[in-house]
Every structure is written in C-alpha cells, then in structure tokens.
Structure 1
Amino acid sequence: MLRLLIAICFIGPINKAAWLIGTWESQTSKGIIYESWKRESSKELSGKSYMLKGKDTLIFETIRLIADQHQLYYIPTVKNQNNGQPVRFALKKTSDNQLVFENSEHDFPQIITYRKLDADSLIAEISGMVDGRLRKEIFPMRKVQ
C-alpha cells in the first residue's frame, strides 16, 4: 500500500503533463521552432527545442520534466546559457490544461508556462523581470506529431 501511495505522488504530476508528449511547432521571426516531448519513465518526460536548417537539426535546448521528492521540476539546459548547466524550475500551479513552473532566482525567465488550448494547440510562455520591467515571450504552438 505504501508503495502505491508513493507511486501516485510521483506519477500524478507527470501524468498531468502527458498532454505535452509529441512534436509541436511555432512560427517565429527566426523560422520554425520545434519542441518534442517523450516519456522516459513513470517519473520523467524529456524534451528538446530545435530548428531544422537544411539537413541539419540545430538543438538549442534540452529539457527534463522530473517528479522528484513529491515535486515536479522543469529542468532545461540551454546552449550558451548558464555555462551549459541545467536550471531547475519547480511546478507552482497545475490544472488539466496548464503547467506553471517558477525559479525566482534565475535571471530570465523566472516563470515558464504551458497552456493547452485544445488537443492540437498550446501556448508556451516565458516571463520574468529584467531591469525592473516585466518581459514576456509567447510561443503559440501547434501539434504536428
């Protein structure tokens, strides 16, 4: 019984994020950005953000979504940022269609939000304070796989 309760604590948050699984695309001024998610285990999803340039895939971010110690963490590693080290954002708010992760100590962003609009579209948003001003970047995405 105790194992079942522990498993529910870990699996529950990951299942709330299962709607991320698949490949999403966003049209930006720099071209099409893709974000792909897959399930690694009952406690982890992994993702990557990338662009296609000719026959090359340019990965600029890898992401781990991990259930750890009764908490869900969004852990991106971004090329040429934070000395290539991962940064941990804790889940602060969740619902059936929204995930909000925060790290108030990070320079930018401090908040990462995914909001599901329907089965094939979502909005990813990064936001936070920069030089005393609120900065937001919004990425409307549609599911392509």
Structure 2
Amino acid sequence: MKSIIIISVAILFVSCQNKGEKKFDKLEKMNWLVGQWENKAPEGLLTETWTKENDSTFSGQTYFIKNEKDTVHSESIVLTQLKEELIYRPTVKGQNNDEPIDFKLTSAVENSFVFENSKHDYPQKITYKKINDKALVATISGSQQGKQSSESYPMKKK
C-alpha cells in the first residue's frame, strides 16, 4: 500500500512538472502577429495575414496589389518552432523554383524578432518589430548586388 502511494505521488509530481513546461514558448511570443495587417502606399496595397495552425505553427500570406487589381508579389510563409529553433519559411511564387527558404530566429528582444539566412541572395535578414497592438514594422535587409540594402514596411492591423 505504501509503495502505491509513493508511486502515485511520483506520477502526480512528474505530470505537474510537464504541464508547467512551455513546449513552443518562442512561437507563443509572436501570438500578437496573428491577424490581418496592411500597408497602404501610393505604389499599392501590401497585406499580410497570419493564422495559427496549431501550437507549433503559424501560416502567413503576403500580397502586394498594384492599382487595386494587379497582384505584383505574393508569398506564403510558415512560421514554426522545431524543438528549440523558430523558423521563418517563406515561399515566393516564381523564385527559388517555388521552394521555401529557411530563416532562423537569431534575436528576440522586446517585441523585435530577427530571422536570418546568410546564404540567401536577398534578403538575408527579416525583422518584425511590434510597435503596439495595432502597428508593426517588417523590414527586409542585407547585401544586394554588392551593396547593403534595407526596405521597411510599416503595417497597421485591420
């Protein structure tokens, strides 16, 4: 009887410990990204929509529409936590044989998340910075044709 109680307490202790662990804690810090974001500019409309697929994965769709009807750019994105790594995986139609490119999280400091892939042609760095609950700035940067380049896209949540 005494051994049954000891085993029960041990099982209870272990199960309580596991519940307290955050398995996808890096991805959870980006929950604020879920929703629809847009940037209206004279050149056109940039929209980015994020949905939570499950505990380990968000999916995103980005479109740049010119003259309210011509889609100039589109990409699908998977943001996923694989073990301890957070991976930003865009697939751009018409680039890289329509295959995804992985960017690994290299920095996560106060609502700023930096993903990098030094082997990619351009960009090598993608940054998402949360300004507040309704605003973010997405920035792509790196070396392009031998020169440093950077483009920022301030977006508002719809």
1:27 aligns with 2:40: yes
SS in 2 for 1:4: helix
State the partner residue of 1:88.
102
State the partner residue of 2:10.
none
Equivalents in 2 of 1:51, 1:93: separation in Å? 27
Equivalents in 1 of 2:52, 2:110: separation in Å? 18
**What TM-score does the superposition give when structure 2 sets the normalisation length?**
0.81
Equivalents in 1 of 2:120, 2:90: separation in Å? 12
**58-67 or 82-91, larger mean C-alpha shift:** 58-67
Change (3 A) 1:94 1:62: same
The one-letter amino acid paired with 1:101 is F
- 1:42-75 CA-to-partner distances (Å, cap 9, x unmatched) read 0001100024545x87771000000003100000
Change (3 A) 1:131 1:15: same
State the partner residue of 1:119.
133
Which of 55, 58, 72 is equivalent to 1:42? Answer: 55
Gap runs ≥5 in structure 1: none
State the partner residue of 2:75.
61
Equivalents in 2 of 1:98, 1:24: separation in Å? 17
Number of residue pairs the alignment of both structures matches:
142
SS in 1 for 2:24: helix
1:16 aligns with 2:22: no
Equivalents in 1 of 2:148, 2:122: separation in Å? 10
SS in 1 for 2:127: strand
Which of 106, 119, 131 is equivalent to 1:105? Answer: 119
Higher relative contact order (CA 8 A, sep 6+): 1
- Greater Cα radius of gyration, structure 1 or 2: 2
**What TM-score does the superposition give when structure 1 sets the normalisation length?**
0.88
State the partner residue of 1:70.
84
Structure 1 position 28, deviation (Å) = 3.3
SS in 2 for 1:14: helix
The one-letter amino acid paired with 1:35 is E
RMSD: 2.3
Structure 1 position 138, deviation (Å) = 0.6
SS in 2 for 1:109: coil
Gap runs ≥5 in structure 2: 1-13
